[in-house]
Amino acid sequence: MQDIMPTWVGATAKQIARGVRRGDVSATQVLADHLDHVAKTDVDLAAFRAVRGGEAVTEAEKVDEQEDLANLPLAGVPVAVKENTPVAGVPTWNGSAAVRTPVAEADHEVVRRLRGAGAVILGVTRMPELGLWGSTDDETAVTRNPWDLSRTPGGSSGGAAAAVAAGLVPIAHGNDGLGSIRIPAACCGLVGLKPGRGVVPCQLGAEDWFGLTEHGMLSTTVADAAVGFQVLAGRAQSKLVPPQRLRVGVSLRSPVRGVSPDAPNRDAVAAAGRLLAGAGHDTVPADPVYPTSLGLKGVATWFAAAAADVRDAGVDRRALQRRSRRHVTLGEWAWRRGYVREADRSAWRERSIGFFTDHSVDLLLTPALASAPPPAASWSTRSWQANMLASIRYAPYAAPWNIAGLPALVVPVGRRPDGLPLAVQLVGPPGSELLLLGVAGQFEMANPWPRHAPGYPHVGTGWPANA
């Protein structure tokens, strides 16, 4: 029988960093393992827009040359960055050739923080044009879900989620303007945290989508999610503590009238309620009131954010995909008509914060999705209406919490009858990121999920992380 060399592909970020810090493995070897895995696997997934190869090897060598690795929480960890976030030395694609900007001269602040923590930037992951859509594809490729190649990994951080679910990297950076971390996390069975407003520097596009967008990480474990969050937030690393008894509001109510969760997603919320009870928490029915005006103004802001980004970048809109051109045109109209107002967003934020005191609850539990992820297809060639309906119908639960600027997290809780992962969303008041992660950690302890999609990573006998 042929011997198969062990590999660090499939290890968690924490395991890799510990191995590099104590000298069990070099950052260079960890990177080589992952680059080999990407070369073999990403042909089927199209998770990466660009793999940095030689530049990443040089970065890994610099990590290995550092004398003091003790204070690097991501020492030698290969990380992917979403393609709308500048990484020095590569273009910033923003989801299509039409909006690609020249090679970045400097790293975005979140990339600088990742490197400062010892991470090695392996490459940049794909997203839909301008980050507008709930599926990830363009004329060059369709990004696919490792759990089922016929399904989308979601959007807009679809490439990031596909990469992590297939073990191409242990953790990946994403950003979330109307659900773009949490939706892919739910599609791909991952932990995805959208921090609250102002916790992580945003600095994206024209106006950070009018304050809706936040940077975060996608991971296979809660421990990795906590490390990644604290690095991005510029905080000292602290261990998660199991929360004391909490009172959690439970709601199946959809923010979008006429869209409701299917049976598997209702079952996921019920399963999460049982996990909360098992951890010693109390659950009570508590439905947020989603005004019709919130949905209309939220959609108007979505439109206007696209128009602002295009205007700020000086993009020729004729080069955009047809669906995006329509979106931008509507955004300009909504802006002229005064439908995009900070006062409306602030009012919803105050109402959302008040929800927790009004109902005497610490957190809110909702479905993560309303239905299964749509097919992996050339959505970029389909009509604006088809894209809008597909995105809203399967993923209505995320957007209100971007408008409110509240932290929200998606955590896996099982599988659909078709084998795709199921997840739920937990939302908290400002400053509750570590509390959300603590509860997610209780879920993971009580009901561990598969860390990767079935059949992934495509490697030999496993990794020597516990050697």
Cβ neighbours around 26 below 10 Å, total: 16
Q: Kindly indicate the confidence band of residue 464, based on its pLDDT and cuts at 50, 70 and 90.
A: very low
| Res 26 pLDDT > 60 | yes
Instruction: Enter the tokens of residue 458.
Output: 């495509």
- Compute the radius of gyration of the chain from its Cα atoms: 21
d(CA 110, CA 116): 10
Mean pLDDT, rounded, for 274-290: 98
* Residue 6: predicted pLDDT: 82
d(CA 12, CA 64): 19
What's the pTM? 0.97
Q: Kindly indicate the confidence band of residue 32, based on its pLDDT and cuts at 50, 70 and 90.
A: very high
- SS3 sequence of the chain: CCCCCCCCCCCCHHHHHHHHHCCCCCHHHHHHHHHHHHHHHHHHHCCEEEECCHHHHHHHHHHHHCCCCCCCCCCCCEEEEECCCCCECCEECCCCHHHCEEEECCCCHHHHHHHHCCCEEEEEECCCHHHCCCCCEECCEECCECCECCECCCCCCHHHHHHHHCCCCCEEEEEECCCCCHHHHHHHCCEEEECCCCCCCCCCCCCHHHHCCEEEEEECCHHHHHHHHHHHCCCCCCCCCCCCCCEEEECCCCCCCCCCCCHHHHHHHHHHHHHHHHCCCEEEECCCCCCHHHHHHHHHHHHHHHHHHHHHHCCCHHHCCHHHHHHHHHHHHHHHCCCCCHHHHHHHHHHHHHHHHHCCCCEEEEECCCCCCCECCCHHHCCHHHHHHHHHHHCCCCHHHHHHCCCEEEEEEEECCCCCEEEEEEECCCCCHHHHHHHHHHHHHHCCCCCCCCCCCCCCCCCCCCC
283-331 residue pLDDT tens: 999 999 999 999 999 999 999 999 999 998 888 999 999 999 999 999 9
Q: How buried is residue 454: exposed, middle or buried, by Cβ count under 10 Å (0-12/13-18/19+)?
A: exposed
Decide the pairing of beta strands 191-194 and 214-219.
antiparallel
Decide the pairing of beta strands 247-250 and 363-367.
parallel
* Residue 467: predicted pLDDT: 33
Domains identified in the chain and CATH numbers: 13-288+355-446 (3.90.1300.10)
* Residue 313: predicted pLDDT: 87
| Res 1 pLDDT > 70 | no
Mean pLDDT, rounded, for 102-125: 98
Q: Kindly indicate the confidence band of residue 207, based on its pLDDT and cuts at 50, 70 and 90.
A: confident
Percentage of the chain modeled with pLDDT above 70:
97
The angle subtended at Cα 113 by Cα 111 and Cα 115, nearest 5°, is: 70
Q: Which residues contact 164 (CB under 8 A, 6 or more apart)?
A: 80, 170, 171, 172, 188, 190, 218, 219, 220
| Res 461 pLDDT > 70 | no
In angstroms, the Cα distances linking 125 to 63, 80, 86, 305 are: 23, 6, 12, 21
The angle subtended at Cα 408 by Cα 403 and Cα 412, nearest 5°, is: 140
| Res 463 pLDDT > 90 | no
Instruction: Enter the tokens of residue 261.
Output: 């969760």
400-431 residue pLDDT tens: 999 999 999 999 999 999 999 999 999 999 99
d(CA 416, CA 411): 14
Share the mean pLDDT of the chain: 95
Q: Kindly indicate the confidence band of residue 5, based on its pLDDT and cuts at 50, 70 and 90.
A: low
Q: Kindly indicate the confidence band of residue 460, based on its pLDDT and cuts at 50, 70 and 90.
A: very low
Instruction: Enter the tokens of residue 229.
Output: 């969050």
Task: Write phi, then psi, for 139 (nearest 5 degrees).
Answer: -70, -15
**Catalytic center residues:** 82, 156, 180
